[in-house]
């Protein structure tokens, strides 16, 4: 079968001009914030202390008004307001699924939109965030992959997704109130729109802010980055972020994976698996999650299950089986429940955890692989999509 989908979309990237007007403090690293404060007159000897104070107001208390930063002198707060802003993406729409899943359509600079999903569970609350407007890749089973890449999100736009979700959940602590250890937003997954490792620096810097112990305080073990297999950046992720890793795997032969995840043509299974064997040791992660979408008659046979076990031998791993979430014009169908259970049983008997993911938010198109912003939605026929997938 010929594979017609390109590895990545043909994209012309135009450098973005820095926005005019006051500088946004959201998304700056501590060093960047220190330099910015010194540039507007903060004495160098005070700059580190001022960064610590402002950082806590922004990321611990969720404060958006300099006037409320009461441990800073009034004239210093006025100076901050004259030179800086505290700006987050704009929530355009908020939908709530029958199962409690929340989907936010978020507008960023330039009028572009991305989707963010919050998934409540009994023991955690997971926020699925986006890293690009559209997607660099062209995975044929993914709705987001049919939307062309517009641009990478900035560090501020990535961190901002976490902050607006905490706004909606009412989760910022109240000064003077007893400390509440319960976290409604306890986990982050970089599984929204885009390929995070094609926006590495901004993703890395945003996750460092998320993990900062004096701010959002999310453990690196509660952050999972999902990649389709950008091999050169996986080692950097282990060294520079150290979060948990998930691989959008989906195929047990290069022929099938080329068709489902075309980036496999650049970095085939042998290259991908070689770098994955080193990841847990470098990042000190417990195990890697292999994401495997179940597609009827494509990758769901007993032989596929046995090949999968052989491929990941020696890698501490969990296999997440994902029933295909259908979308308008999708060229695939979901495997039957019986077939998925049989596949899971083979994996489990080989000694690997093999949970079957319960689809969440399907009624609001918030499930895995369904995200696609309204303004960038391309109107493709089922025949067009099938042709691009090589079907």
Active site residues: 115, 368
Residue with tokens 């005019």: 20
Of 132, 128, 135, 131, residue with least CA distance to 104: 128
Helix ranges restricted to H, the chain? 30-39, 44-59, 74-83, 155-169, 200-211, 231-240, 254-260, 269-283, 302-311, 337-349, 382-388
User: Angle 269-283/231-240 helices, nearest 10 degrees?
Assistant: 0
Of 308, 383, 297, 306, residue with least CA distance to 334: 297
Of 189, 124, 186, 182, residue with least CA distance to 158: 189
Of 9, 266, 234, residue with least CA distance to 139: 9
Asked if residue 368 lies in contact with residue 325, where contact means CB atoms within 8 angstroms, the answer is: yes
Torsion from C-alpha of 33, 223, 9, 250, nearest 10 degrees: 170
Sheet of 125-128, strands arranged across: 90-96, 102-107, 113-120, 125-128, 187-190, 223-227, 244-248, 288-294, 317-323
* DSSP 8-state secondary structure symbol assigned to residue 322: E
- Taking the CB of residue 336, how many other CB atoms lie within 10 A of it? 13
Q: Tokens for 363?
A: 């009624």
Torsion from C-alpha of 223, 355, 271, 193, nearest 10 degrees: -50
Query: For the chain, what is the radius of gyration of the CA atoms?
Result: 22
Asked if residue 99 lies in contact with residue 358, where contact means CB atoms within 8 angstroms, the answer is: no
């Amino acid at each position: 079968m010929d594979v017609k989908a390109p590895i990545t979309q043909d994209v012309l990237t135009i450098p973005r001009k820095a926005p005019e007007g006051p500088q946004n403090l959201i998304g700056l690293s501590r060093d960047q914030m220190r330099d910015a404060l010194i540039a507007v007159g903060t004495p160098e000897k005070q700059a580190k202390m001022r960064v610590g104070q402002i950082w806590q107001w922004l990321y611990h208390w969720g404060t958006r008004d300099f006037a409320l930063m009461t441990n800073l002198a009034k004239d210093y707060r006025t100076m901050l307001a004259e030179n800086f802003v505290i700006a987050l993406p704009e929530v355009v729409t908020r939908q709530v699924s029958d199962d409690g899943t929340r989907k936010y359509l978020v507008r960023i600079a330039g009028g572009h939109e991305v989707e963010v999903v919050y998934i409540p569970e009994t023991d955690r609350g997971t926020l699925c965030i986006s890293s690009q407007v559209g997607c660099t890749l062209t995975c044929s089973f993914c709705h987001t992959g049919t939307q062309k890449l517009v641009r990478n999100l900035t560090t501020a736009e990535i961190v901002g997704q976490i902050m607006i979700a905490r706004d909606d959940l009412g989760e910022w602590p109240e000064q003077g109130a007893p400390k509440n250890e319960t976290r409604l937003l306890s986990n982050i997954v970089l599984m929204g729109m885009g390929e995070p490792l094609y926006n590495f620096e901004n993703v890395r810097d945003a996750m460092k802010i998320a993990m900062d112990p004096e701010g959002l305080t999310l453990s690196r073990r509660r952050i999972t980055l999902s990649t389709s297999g950008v091999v050169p950046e996986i080692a950097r992720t282990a060294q520079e972020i150290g979060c948990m890793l998930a691989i959008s795997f989906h195929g047990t032969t290069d022929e099938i994976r080329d068709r489902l995840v075309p980036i496999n043509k650049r970095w085939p299974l042998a290259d991908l698996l070689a770098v994955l064997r080193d990841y847990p040791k470098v990042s000190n992660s417990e195990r890697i999650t292999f994401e495997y979408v179940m597609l009827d008659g494509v990758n769901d046979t007993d032989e596929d299950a046995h090949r999968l076990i052989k491929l990941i031998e020696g890698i501490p791993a969990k296999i997440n089986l994902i029933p295909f979430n259908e979308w308008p014009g999708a060229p695939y169908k979901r495997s039957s429940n019986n077939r998925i259970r049989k596949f899971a049983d083979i994996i489990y008997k080989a000694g690997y955890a093999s949970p079957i993911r319960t689809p969440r938010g399907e009624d609001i198109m918030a499930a895995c692989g369904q995200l696609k912003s309204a303004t960038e939605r391309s109107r493709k026929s089922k025949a067009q999509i099938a042709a691009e997938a090589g079907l």
